[in-house]
Amino acid sequence: MRLARHLWTVYGGYALGFASLFVIWQLASIYLVSSVLFPPPTVVFKKGLLLVKNGVLLEHLAASLQRILAGFVAGSLLGIPIGLAMGSFLPVRKLLEPYTEFLRFIPSVAMITGSARRPRSSSSSTRRSSSSS
């Protein structure tokens, strides 16, 4: 009993805030914005469970994690040697520092936009167009 009271005292406000987010979302999606673009959380959770059961969500999650890992590895393989060279050799630092100073002020989220869309291969677009007819 004492532990439960302590947990409620410490985390109760967070739990109520988190739960109220879903209640407000549900009410807003039903009464304020009844749109396909703003579905209620119940619909989202049902669709999420369906995607997990079908294996589609895990398949896409694995593909996303693979891309994230590939980007991290590529960035590390490129960035660590360049950073070591810049820290060790003054001419390399003088050469590359203007670029790093320029890129420092661009938010990383803004850099994602240019690399987020990958062009599809011609085989996937051909398959899609032939299956739709």
Residue-wise pLDDT for 48-102, tens only, equals 999 999 999 999 999 999 999 999 999 999 999 999 999 999 999 999 999 989 8
- In the chain, domain spans: 1-38, 55-117
pTM: 0.58
Q: Is the pLDDT of residue 117 over 80?
A: no
The average pLDDT across 18-22 equals: 94
Q: DSSP readout, 78-89?
A: HHHHHHHHHHH-
CA distances to 80, 96, 97, 106 from 103, in Å: 16, 11, 10, 5
Q: Is the pLDDT of residue 36 over 80?
A: yes
User: How confident is the model at residue 41, as a pLDDT?
Assistant: 94
The one-letter code for the residue type at 40 is P
The average pLDDT across 4-16 equals: 89
Q: DSSP readout, 8-57?
A: HHHHHHHHHHHHHHHHHHHHIIIII--BTTB--HHHHHHHHHHHHHHTHH
